[in-house]
């Protein structure tokens, strides 16, 4: 049972920079939109007012900071996911960058598909950021995370955590919609 608990803890520690990157823009993401109000060739906004420069940068910085904190607090433990501090920092940067790029791409696709700002989309809202984050960090990811059962756990856990945290953020007045 201890081995299973350590596995789950390792998976969650691995993905933590992405989770922080995804949540920080809700609190710090006001300001100028990252698309500067511009439209794509189809006449629709590139990303919309909900995607801001401040939120994008804050998300990447938050996830990178989590990676750095892991480097400081996890060395010489069973949860040291990388061989050195640079590995944790790089993973934090890649996971948070992938998260923010995935979120931005999801918004771009939603605009192309005719979704209005705040309108939910199962895959694009809850899981696309995770897919892009994992794609970016893939060459550096600890191999145990990339096992099919562990990835299945990560996607399922992320979905339910995303739904629950967005509902909580909505109830707290941090988000206008609960998704």
pLDDT tens digits, residue range 77-103?
777 788 888 888 999 999 999 999 999
Q: C-alpha dihedral over 86, 82, 64, 118, to 10 degrees?
A: 150
Model pTM score? 0.91
CB 59 within 8 A of CB 98: no
DSSP for 61-106, written as a single string: HHHHHHHHHHHHHSTTSTT--SSSHHHHHHHHHHHHHHHHHHHHHH
Confidence of residue 117 (pLDDT cuts 50, 70, 90): confident
Other Cβ atoms within 10 Å of 5 Cβ, number:
9
Amino acid 133: pLDDT: 97
Tens-digit pLDDT profile for residues 32-90: 999 999 999 999 999 999 899 999 999 999 999 999 999 899 887 777 788 888 888 99
pLDDT at 119 over 90: no
Is residue 18 a contact partner of residue 96, using CB atoms and an 8 Å limit? yes
């Amino acid at each position: 049972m201890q081995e299973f608990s350590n596995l789950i803890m390792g998976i969650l520690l691995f993905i933590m920079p992405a989770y922080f990157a995804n949540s920080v823009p809700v609190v710090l993401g006001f300001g100028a939109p990252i698309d500067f109000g511009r439209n794509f060739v189809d006449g629709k906004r590139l990303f919309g007012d909900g995607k801001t420069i401040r939120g994008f940068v804050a998300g990447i910085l938050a996830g990178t900071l989590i990676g750095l904190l892991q480097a400081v607090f996890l060395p010489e433990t069973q949860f040291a996911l990388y061989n050195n501090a640079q590995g944790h920092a790089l993973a934090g940067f890649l996971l948070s960058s992938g998260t923010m790029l995935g979120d931005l791409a999801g918004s771009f696709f939603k605009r192309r598909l005719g979704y209005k700002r705040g309108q939910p989309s199962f895959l694009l809202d809850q899981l696309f950021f995770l897919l892009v984050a994992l794609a970016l960090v893939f060459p550096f990811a600890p191999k145990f995370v990339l096992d099919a059962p562990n990835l299945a756990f990560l996607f399922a856990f992320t979905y339910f955590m995303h739904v629950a945290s967005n509902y909580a953020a909505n109830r707290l007045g941090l988000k206008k919609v609960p998704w």
